[in-house]
Amino acid sequence: MRIESEQRDIMKKKCAITKIFKVRKRRELLCAQAGLLCSLLLGVWAMSELLTQAGHGMIADGGINVDAHWGRRLMALAQNNETMEKNCTEPAVHEFPDDLFTNAERKSGAVLLHILAALYMFLALAIVCDDYFVTSLEKICEKLDLSEDVAGATFMAAGSSAPELFASVIGVFITHGDVGVGTIVGSAVFNVLCIIGVCGIFAGQVVLLTWWAVFRDSLYYILSVVALIAFIYDEKIVWWESLVLVLMYAGYILIMKFNSTMQMFFSGKGNKNVANGNAVSGNELEDVKLSKRYTRGSVVMVDEIINASPPNYRFPEAGLRVMVTNHFGPKTRLRMASRLIITERQKLVQGANGVEVAVVDGKSDIENGNVLEDKPSEEEDGELTSPFTIPKGCMNKTKWLISWPILLLLFFTIPNCSRPRWEKYFMLSFILSTVWIAVFSYFMVWMVTIIGYTLGIPDVIMGITFLAAGTSVPDCIASLIVARQGLGDMAVSNSIGSNVFDILVGLGLPWALQTMAISYGSVVMINSRGLVYSVVLLLGSVALTILGIHINKWKLDFKLGVYVLVLYAIFLCFSVMIEYNVFTFVNLPMCQEDH
């Protein structure tokens, strides 16, 4: 058997591997997601009411003591007759079509319909992204023969961050406000703090984090946030600043391409990379020991599941174990570890029940490039995504009924390239799913803008809190499910890495299109000075999170989870208080009307 030939075969199969932990699990725990979002909105509204009653955010007749910078800004605002007469900031709600209800009717209870509509748009975005958009991106990665790390940093990052990206596009080209920037900033904080916190508290285990992946993504993320602060400090974005952000992401893609080489350099290891077909030192493949006991319901770490395997495994299995080591990026490790977990669990359960492992032509199923999967779960997954098959179980029927209008709409308008019949139409699936993401994002931002206007919450605060959480809570739930399978390390690395895309592409690309293509030489204005302080808080939150992980010896456990969730609560409180001019004057209050 030629080892080098089999190594190449394994590497070619990487992009074609079926995802073990289905992205559709983003739609698990729908009630918990809706409850969390409503609780967050209620908390922000209550805090806004308290600050408003205390007189913050309101302009007194006698004027406000402001520094020279803000004195100049108020003089500039006074040159606009409409602003001088109203002495307030025009809300972004006027950039959308007129609502069916007046502001008074919404305050009397009609706003609940808008909250339900916004929650439904969050669900619609999760469905179209999971079932169509991400699937088409996987097919594109296969056709382009991209490595896992490059694919993860480009197309797959776009798949997971599509709602935030389109919210930013709508903020730049439609509302001309800060709701898009606020969504990106709030989503970034949510991804880092809430995902780490939830995984630490509810994963049911202590997760040992890989220092290189966290260090690499965190360092580049901090550089990205520093660049963002420097560019938005003067409250406007010019063409070269947006170009720098996009080019910085190109640099991140290069880093991911040479990830294994850089990791060996900084780790001081001289081992050759297996991905290049070279040998690896003996200590990479550690001796495996038979576990004393293994239960079906237990939560198991990746290393434990590997060590529970018999030592006499064949080359493909050994190759997968090598791919779980830290020579590979988090995306590769996630998929390889997923294959190992499912396969080894099946072997152990089948062995305990006296069932033989399936063998085809003298080779085990894993050797043929397949994964032993739970047939019932596959059928159940298909039922939940088909508008014509009613699933079993009361909860599944409820989820299916709620999702049915979206499932039916997408079924007839987008070819599902995950099915062999439509596989060759993956580009059409990509284009049509992009269109639907744009449509759902538009309605999502519209509803959130109306909610914020009705409750008297500034657009940027709605972006940082409700809108950011709505686009990120499904990822948080998915990360928790993955973490409970022993993959919390990869969940944390991916949550930080996806934020690099949010900052550099989610903001840089719409700004570049506006200043370089649509209206060359124009500028994108940042309306809220408080956004600068929120980004500074974001930088501080990331730094404190990494410091906490380091002090905790790179272990993700309950106490670290509580620590980062407290940081998230502090970030939200300070962001709201800054927007309401508690510490210093940053912006005019939002105009309120009865219609």
Residue 279, CB half-sphere, CA atoms under 13 Å: how many? 3
Confirm whether 488 is domain-assigned.
yes
Least confident of 240-244, 457-461, 560-564, 568-572: 457-461
Better pLDDT: 358 or 105: 105
Amino acid at 430: F
Query: What pLDDT is recorded for position 116?
Result: 92
Is pLDDT above 60 for 5? no
CB 120 within 8 A of CB 34: no
Residue of 580, 510, 539, 578 whose CA lies nearest to 181: 510
Percent of the chain exceeding pLDDT 90 equals 10
Is pLDDT above 90 for 89? no
Phi, then psi, of 146 in degrees rounded to 5: -80, 150
Confidence of residue 30 (pLDDT cuts 50, 70, 90): low
Residue 585's contacts (CB-CB under 8 Å, 6 or more residues apart) are 64, 65, 66, 70
| Cβ density class 30-53: b for 16+ within 10 Å, e for less | beebbebbeebbeebbebbeebee
Ramachandran quadrant class, 563 (left: phi over 0; alpha: psi -120 to 50; beta: rest): alpha
Query: What pLDDT is recorded for position 247?
Result: 95
Better pLDDT: 17 or 119: 119
Question: Cα separations (Å) of 33 from 27, 126, 377, 401, 475?
Answer: 9, 12, 22, 17, 11
pLDDT, tens digit (0-9, with 9 covering 90-100), for 56-88: 654 433 344 444 444 444 444 444 444 445 567
Is pLDDT above 80 for 551? yes
Confidence of residue 311 (pLDDT cuts 50, 70, 90): very low
Query: What pLDDT is recorded for position 26?
Result: 55
Helices and strands of the chain, counted as H and E runs:
27, 6
CB 544 within 8 A of CB 222: no
Confirm whether 28 is domain-assigned.
yes
pLDDT, tens digit (0-9, with 9 covering 90-100), for 112-124: 999 999 999 988 8
- CA torsion through residues 403, 406, 410, 411, sign: positive
Give the length of the chain: 595
Phi, then psi, of 116 in degrees rounded to 5: -65, -40
Confirm whether 62 is domain-assigned.
no
Query: What pLDDT is recorded for position 320?
Result: 55
**C-alpha span between 403 and 384 (Å, rounded):** 9
Confirm whether 591 is domain-assigned.
no
Three-class secondary structure of residue 472 per DSSP? helix
Query: What pLDDT is recorded for position 372?
Result: 40
**C-alpha span between 223 and 239 (Å, rounded):** 19
CB 527 within 8 A of CB 89: yes
Is pLDDT above 90 for 137? no
Three-class secondary structure of residue 67 per DSSP? coil
Is pLDDT above 50 for 138? yes
**C-alpha span between 456 and 100 (Å, rounded):** 19
Query: What pLDDT is recorded for position 196?
Result: 85
> Among all chains, which residue has been given the structure tokens 């739970």?
374
Three-class secondary structure of residue 288 per DSSP? coil
Three-class secondary structure of residue 415 per DSSP? coil
59-73, 150-164, 217-231, 476-490: range with highest mean pLDDT: 217-231
Confirm whether 276 is domain-assigned.
yes
Query: What pLDDT is recorded for position 406?
Result: 92
Is pLDDT above 50 for 291? no
| Paired strand residues for 590 | 89
Residue 400, Cβ neighbours under 10 Å: how many? 19
**Tokens describing residue 288:** 């495996």
Phi, then psi, of 15 in degrees rounded to 5: -75, -15
Better pLDDT: 327 or 394: 394
Residue of 472, 466, 495 whose CA lies nearest to 483: 495
Confirm whether 324 is domain-assigned.
yes
Confidence of residue 555 (pLDDT cuts 50, 70, 90): confident
Is pLDDT above 60 for 9? no
CB 482 within 8 A of CB 491: yes
Query: What pLDDT is recorded for position 300?
Result: 46
pLDDT, tens digit (0-9, with 9 covering 90-100), for 513-545: 989 988 888 888 887 677 788 888 888 988 898
Query: What pLDDT is recorded for position 152?
Result: 65
Residue of 183, 192, 228 whose CA lies nearest to 544: 192
Confirm whether 68 is domain-assigned.
no
Query: What pLDDT is recorded for position 408?
Result: 92
Better pLDDT: 379 or 100: 100
**Tokens describing residue 590:** 């939002």
**Tokens describing residue 2:** 């030629």
Is pLDDT above 80 for 236? yes
pLDDT, tens digit (0-9, with 9 covering 90-100), for 411-435: 999 998 888 888 888 889 988 988 8
Residue 375, Cβ neighbours under 10 Å: how many? 8
Residue 296's contacts (CB-CB under 8 Å, 6 or more residues apart) are 345, 349
Q: For residue 386, give its domain range.
A: 3-56+88-579
Query: CA angle 261-263-265, nearest 5°?
Result: 70
Is pLDDT above 80 for 446? yes
Least confident of 222-231, 289-298, 344-353: 289-298
**C-alpha span between 366 and 358 (Å, rounded):** 9
Contacts 24+ apart (CB under 8 A), 220-224: 220/252, 220/255, 220/500, 221/496, 221/499, 221/500, 221/503, 221/542, 222/539, 222/542, 222/543, 223/248, 224/248, 224/500, 224/503, 224/504
Is pLDDT above 90 for 334? no
Confirm whether 80 is domain-assigned.
no
Total domains present in the chain: 1
CB 214 within 8 A of CB 546: yes
The arithmetic mean of pLDDT across residues 552-561, rounded, is 88
Query: What pLDDT is recorded for position 542?
Result: 87
Least confident of 145-159, 356-370, 387-401, 510-524: 356-370
pLDDT, tens digit (0-9, with 9 covering 90-100), for 453-512: 888 888 888 888 888 888 777 677 767 766 776 666 666 766 777 788 888 988 899 999
> Among all chains, which residue has been given the structure tokens 């996630």?
334
Question: Cα separations (Å) of 197 from 192, 490, 550?
Answer: 8, 15, 15
Residue 268, Cβ neighbours under 10 Å: how many? 6
Is pLDDT above 90 for 248? yes
